[in-house]
A and B are shown apart, each in its own frame.
Chain A
Amino acid sequence: MPSGQPVVETKELTKQYGRFVALDRLTMSVERGQILGFVGPNGAGKTTTIKILVGLARPTSGSARVAGADCVREARKLKRLVGYMPDTFGSYDNMRVGEYLDFFGAAFGIRRKQRARRIDEVLETAGASTYHDLYVEALSHGMKQRVAIARTLLHDPEVLSLDEPANGLDPQARIEMRLLLLDLAERGKTLLVTSHVLPELARICQRVAIITRGKLRAFGTLEEITRQLHPLRPMEILLTNADRIDRVVEVVKKYVEPGAEISPAPAEAVVRFRTAKREEELAGLLTALVAAGVGVTQFREVATDLEEAFMTVARSSESDEQEGELARNASEAEPARSASEGPISPTRQRGGLR
């Protein structure tokens, strides 16, 4: 598949279990060599999405393609294109790592002569060369995660779906896992990674999908999502002292949009505000502050991280759900009035949020 074309693509993907909607019209695409971070609270639909993409679950409606294979109609072809690492290791008792990988190699039809070499290669890639003769059940959690990565790589898949690969790892193992995933992406693998460790995910993912209650709430690069979530950039002015903080607030008011939120914090000698102004206009503000004789030590934009973005989306979706619930209750209580006024949208569509 040529570079630049989506390797993973979903369209209106929906999965229902009875009346429960686990996944609601998910549409997204990921290009070759990218790492997509799947973020969401427990039960949000991350694992359901991954399971559909690897062929372990069937969507109720919509479509999904991975590396050109349809996830429903070409399930057999899909197995050779995707490597799946579930959140549980899945070990067999009394087996050594070499035997364990040999079984999966044989199951994928790798020829006997190539298999031994391939096992050494994937163990080397996963940083687990020394585990070959160890019993699988005797491995620590971090070691098992490495062996699981090796197992996932064994048949050289184009796409890797990793469910919580950093779960339960110590800080050093987490850093090593991060480097390993970046290395795999550099080798041209496309990775779908779910994780609750958001700072880790933010450091490796080119794209992030935030999903709550089965709905894709935000999708894109972290920068794009942040911009979508907060059209007004958070700024911070650090002063030498708080003596002239009121003067600073006055100057800032003249430059920013009317009614913009300005928060002076005298105790910290800081003034915080949000604005949509461009860099040139903000440079004018700084000049004005200096001209007014204010001692400015720092004038900067506050970076929004993935955790903050996630919390914003989570809160927003929660309030949407509550509003939707209230609206449903109201429509049930007053069906006649609702009918005359038209349907009430269960979710509020905001700019930037899906």
Chain B
Amino acid sequence: MNPIIRRELLEVLRTRRAVALQLGLALGCALLVLLRWPTGEVADLSGARSMQVLRVFGYGLLAGILLLVPAFPATSLVREKMKGTLALLLNSPMRPWSIYAGKLGGALGFTAVLLTMTLPAAAACYALGGTGGEGGIGALYAVLGIATLQLTTLALLVSSRAQSTDGALRATYALVLVLCVVTLAPHALLRGKTGPLVESASWLRCLSPVPAVMEVLGQGDVGSHGISAGSGVFLRYLFLAAIFSVICAAVTVAGLNHKLFDRARSAGVMTEDRSEAGQFFRRVLFLFFFDPQRRSGSTSAWVNPVMVKEFRSRRFGRSHWTMRLLAASAILSLGLSYIALTGALGWGIEVVGGALVLFQVALLILFAPSLAAGLVSAERESGTWQLLMMTPLSPGTILRGKLLSVAWPLLLLLCATLPGYIVMMTIKPELIHQVRRVVICLGLTAVFAVLLSAAVSTLFRSTAAATTASYLSLLAVCGGPLLVWLGREAPFGHPTVEAVLTIDPVAAALQASATPGFARYELLPANWWIIGSACVALLVILAVRTWQLYRPE
């Protein structure tokens, strides 16, 4: 047996955490089926009840795979690289493909075990009847299996190129978002048109497992209208995902060699030390202030030094990256507004508002943990926390500086997306009240996301673990209730869905923007109170933990 599989699969399976995860998953699935198991004397011959269960079950599994599967392989190779054990492996008689097979097998094996634990619940759905045929359980598992392979190979590719575990996690989750959601956008935007571009967009969306799962569960396609949804997505997805996985694997294996450790150190040449022509070129290219090679000045006495340090030590915190991000956000926001203005797609202003909200929330969910999850854990991991403790800075100053370093970029990011709302209000001035409510929701979401990630950061010594835990917690709060919303007609009733959505800041923002599907729920101001209270509780946890960590041993 491949020694890496033995180490990374069998030893993981022997841990108590793995056993608990398997049992928890099996119990959760069993509970879901029990909820809809027929109790009366009249049987549901149409199979509608079992399909309702299968949908929640299927989307739940898909969400679990999208959120959990990338975390393990994303840190797998980069961690070995940082610890130096990858060099030992490459120096052993094992070939690169054998090392890769071990890593891939380990990650896939564990997911396969977890998926197997859900089979009894799937069998119960089958026993209820009505889940056979084209949208059957077998097809669902086929999509989930290939999605696992696709995400694992993608995460391993990122891991082989990354320089840090938390960087690998951030990049992997960003790519998962692009692969699963962004690939759907061109097809949605070009709906109703014909031509080669539309055909390309139609194939592009098949890279995402979401339309395939929707088709398998008999729900058409993302944003589809009636019977106009395309078919054959399932087979296209299997084909494209398999090719995608093979390409990712080939690129990763090709890169598993000594060159990973054969990199020159940066000479650190500053713009001021370049020739006059070189200086001129860089100053024009980076507009002087945003030149990353410009010699930075001393930290002013008026600003928090920890905040400045955080900005300077982040790759994306540097001004040139921040400006690029802001520009991209503003352009996208205005683009969405332009779509609403021209009405080219026949979308209402509410749908565009919903899209804007989702776009902003996606940015928040992506960036808040990536910025805040390492605030304390990274310091503890690198040993700089005790250096901070040796300075006269109080824990309050440290905490304030760290939170400000996350708050500013997120605030700028939110502001960069606001022009879209301004355009919407120009078109429809009566929307001002609605926009105000949406902005409050988004502001609270941002605060909640930052505080949650920062609080999680104080609980872990490893940044990779803190980043994963932050993403999972945030997605559980923001995305979990939406799974219940998917089953809003059945199996869940209106009061249940409304109660669950009340804790979700994303649902509240969507309701505030009167997005179709959310407008009929009354989530505000209850949601503001819940999220506000949660923010206060998280701030207390953060402050207490920081103080605890700052105390001498």
Say if the beta carbon of A109 comes within 8 Å of chain B.
Answer: yes
Q: With A and B bound together, what is the CA distance between A334 and B499 in angstroms?
A: 69
Of B139-147, B150-158, B299-307, B327-335, which binds chain A? Answer: B299-307
With contact pairs A51-B553, A112-B301, A138-B265 given, residues A95 and B389 touching in the complex (Cβ less than 8 Å): no
A58 contacts across to B, CB distance below 8 A: 552-553
B373-397 at interface with A (beta carbon < 8 Å): 382-384, 386-393
Q: With A and B bound together, what is the CA distance between A103 and B393 in angstroms?
A: 11
Say if the beta carbon of B436 comes within 8 Å of chain A.
Answer: no
Say if the beta carbon of B228 comes within 8 Å of chain A.
Answer: no
| A89 in contact with B383 (CB, 8 Å) | yes
Q: With A and B bound together, what is the CA distance between A54 and B391 in angstroms?
A: 11
| B393 in contact with A107 (CB, 8 Å) | yes
With contact pairs A133-B295, A138-B268 given, residues A92 and B384 touching in the complex (Cβ less than 8 Å): yes
With contact pairs A57-B553, A99-B296, A138-B268 given, residues A84 and B390 touching in the complex (Cβ less than 8 Å): yes
| A79 in contact with B390 (CB, 8 Å) | yes
Q: With A and B bound together, what is the CA distance between A151 and B386 in angstroms?
A: 13
| B382 in contact with A75 (CB, 8 Å) | no
With contact pairs A107-B392, A133-B268 given, residues A94 and B387 touching in the complex (Cβ less than 8 Å): no
Say if the beta carbon of B35 comes within 8 Å of chain A.
Answer: no
A103 contacts across to B, CB distance below 8 A: 299, 305, 308-309, 312
Q: With A and B bound together, what is the CA distance between A20 and B137 in angstroms?
A: 58
Say if the beta carbon of B313 comes within 8 Å of chain A.
Answer: yes
Residue of A nearest to B270 (CB): A133
Say if the beta carbon of B520 comes within 8 Å of chain A.
Answer: no
| B386 in contact with A108 (CB, 8 Å) | no
A84 contacts across to B, CB distance below 8 A: 386-387, 390
| A102 in contact with B298 (CB, 8 Å) | yes
B359-415 at interface with A (beta carbon < 8 Å): 382-384, 386-393
Say if the beta carbon of B318 comes within 8 Å of chain A.
Answer: yes
Say if the beta carbon of A116 comes within 8 Å of chain B.
Answer: yes
Q: With A and B bound together, what is the CA distance between A213 and B510 in angstroms?
A: 63
Per-position 1/0 for B264-293, Cβ under 8 A of A: 011111100100000000000000000000
> What is the minimal beta-carbon distance from B10 to any residue of chain A, in angstroms?
33
| A94 in contact with B553 (CB, 8 Å) | no
Per-position 1/0 for B227-271, Cβ under 8 A of A: 000000000000000000000000000000000000001111110
Q: Which residue of B383, B388, B553 has the most chain A CB atoms within 10 A of its CB atom?
A: B553
Residue of A nearest to B167 (CB): A93
A79-96 at interface with B (beta carbon < 8 Å): 79-80, 82, 84, 86, 88-96
Say if the beta carbon of B164 comes within 8 Å of chain A.
Answer: yes
Per-position 1/0 for B302-325, Cβ under 8 A of A: 000110110011110010000000
B489-529 at interface with A (beta carbon < 8 Å): none
> What is the minimal beta-carbon distance from A78 to any residue of chain B, in angstroms?
9
Task: Tell which of A56, A95, A102 touches B386, judged by Cβ atoms closer than 8 Å.
Answer: A56
| B266 in contact with A80 (CB, 8 Å) | no
Say if the beta carbon of A214 comes within 8 Å of chain B.
Answer: no
> What is the minimal beta-carbon distance from A194 to any residue of chain B, in angstroms?
15
A79 contacts across to B, CB distance below 8 A: 390-392
A113-153 at interface with B (beta carbon < 8 Å): 115-116, 133-135, 138, 151
> What is the minimal beta-carbon distance from A94 to any residue of chain B, in angstroms?
5
Say if the beta carbon of A98 comes within 8 Å of chain B.
Answer: yes
| A90 in contact with B392 (CB, 8 Å) | no
| B391 in contact with A107 (CB, 8 Å) | yes
> What is the minimal beta-carbon distance from A160 to any residue of chain B, in angstroms?
12
With contact pairs A79-B391, A84-B390, A108-B392 given, residues A91 and B384 touching in the complex (Cβ less than 8 Å): yes
B9-29 at interface with A (beta carbon < 8 Å): none
Say if the beta carbon of A179 comes within 8 Å of chain B.
Answer: no
| A75 in contact with B552 (CB, 8 Å) | yes
| B318 in contact with A111 (CB, 8 Å) | no
A111 contacts across to B, CB distance below 8 A: 301
Residue of B nearest to A113 (CB): B298
| B393 in contact with A93 (CB, 8 Å) | no
Say if the beta carbon of A299 comes within 8 Å of chain B.
Answer: no
A37 contacts across to B, CB distance below 8 A: none
Q: Which residue of B268, B273, B305, B306 has the most chain A CB atoms within 10 A of its CB atom?
A: B268
Q: With A and B bound together, what is the CA distance between A105 and B305 in angstroms?
A: 9
> What is the minimal beta-carbon distance from B400 to any residue of chain A, in angstroms?
13
| B312 in contact with A106 (CB, 8 Å) | no
> What is the minimal beta-carbon distance from B406 to any residue of chain A, in angstroms?
16
| A138 in contact with B266 (CB, 8 Å) | yes
| B382 in contact with A90 (CB, 8 Å) | yes
A168-186 at interface with B (beta carbon < 8 Å): none
Q: With A and B bound together, what is the CA distance between A80 and B313 in angstroms?
A: 25
With contact pairs A98-B295, A107-B393 given, residues A90 and B305 touching in the complex (Cβ less than 8 Å): no
Residue of B nearest to A115 (CB): B298
| B386 in contact with A90 (CB, 8 Å) | yes
With contact pairs A107-B305, A112-B300 given, residues A93 and B313 touching in the complex (Cβ less than 8 Å): yes
> What is the minimal beta-carbon distance from A165 to any residue of chain B, in angstroms?
15
With contact pairs A88-B383, A135-B268 given, residues A108 and B391 touching in the complex (Cβ less than 8 Å): yes
| A56 in contact with B390 (CB, 8 Å) | yes
Q: With A and B bound together, what is the CA distance between A213 and B160 in angstroms?
A: 43
Residue of B nearest to A72 (CB): B552
> What is the minimal beta-carbon distance from A75 to any residue of chain B, in angstroms?
7
With contact pairs A56-B553, A115-B298, A116-B298 given, residues A96 and B387 touching in the complex (Cβ less than 8 Å): no
> What is the minimal beta-carbon distance from A198 to any residue of chain B, in angstroms?
25
B296 contacts across to A, CB distance below 8 A: 96, 98-99, 102
B389 contacts across to A, CB distance below 8 A: 55-56
| A94 in contact with B314 (CB, 8 Å) | yes
| A106 in contact with B266 (CB, 8 Å) | no
B388 contacts across to A, CB distance below 8 A: 107
| B387 in contact with A104 (CB, 8 Å) | yes
> What is the minimal beta-carbon distance from B94 to any residue of chain A, in angstroms?
29
With contact pairs A56-B553, A80-B392, A86-B386 given, residues A106 and B313 touching in the complex (Cβ less than 8 Å): no
Residue of B nearest to A135 (CB): B266
A104 contacts across to B, CB distance below 8 A: 387, 391
Q: With A and B bound together, what is the CA distance between A92 and B315 in angstroms?
A: 11
Residue of B nearest to A116 (CB): B298
Q: Which residue of A51, A109, A116, A133 has the most chain B CB atoms within 10 A of its CB atom?
A: A133
A80 contacts across to B, CB distance below 8 A: 392
Q: Which residue of B265, B312, B315, B393 has the most chain A CB atoms within 10 A of its CB atom?
A: B312
> What is the minimal beta-carbon distance from A55 to any residue of chain B, in angstroms?
6
Q: With A and B bound together, what is the CA distance between A51 and B315 in angstroms?
A: 33
| A106 in contact with B390 (CB, 8 Å) | no
> What is the minimal beta-carbon distance from B282 to any residue of chain A, in angstroms?
15
> What is the minimal beta-carbon distance from B39 to any residue of chain A, in angstroms?
55
Q: With A and B bound together, what is the CA distance between A135 and B265 in angstroms?
A: 9
With contact pairs A56-B553, A90-B384, A92-B313 given, residues A106 and B265 touching in the complex (Cβ less than 8 Å): no
| B382 in contact with A106 (CB, 8 Å) | no
> What is the minimal beta-carbon distance from A66 to any residue of chain B, in angstroms?
13
Q: With A and B bound together, what is the CA distance between A227 and B273 in angstroms?
A: 59
Q: With A and B bound together, what is the CA distance between A264 and B552 in angstroms?
A: 57
Closest 5 CB pairs of A and B: A106-B305, A88-B383, A138-B265, A107-B391, A92-B313
**Which residues from chain A sit less than 8 Å from chain B, CB to CB?**
51, 54-58, 75-76, 79-80, 82, 84, 86, 88-96, 98-99, 102-109, 111-112, 115-116, 133-135, 138, 151
**29 sample A-B contacts, Cβ–Cβ < 8 Å, listed by A number:** A56-B552, A56-B553, A58-B553, A75-B552, A84-B387, A86-B387, A89-B383, A91-B384, A92-B309, A92-B384, A94-B314, A94-B318, A96-B268, A98-B295, A98-B296, A99-B296, A102-B296, A102-B298, A103-B309, A104-B391, A106-B308, A107-B388, A108-B391, A133-B269, A133-B273, A134-B267, A134-B268, A135-B266, A138-B266
Contacts A86-B383, A138-B266 supplied; 18 other A-B pairs, CB < 8 Å: A56-B389, A57-B553, A75-B552, A79-B390, A79-B392, A84-B386, A84-B390, A90-B383, A95-B313, A96-B296, A102-B299, A103-B299, A104-B387, A108-B392, A111-B301, A115-B298, A134-B266, A138-B268
**Which residues from chain B sit less than 8 Å from chain A, CB to CB?**
164, 265-270, 273, 295-296, 298-301, 305-306, 308-309, 312-315, 318, 382-384, 386-393, 552-553
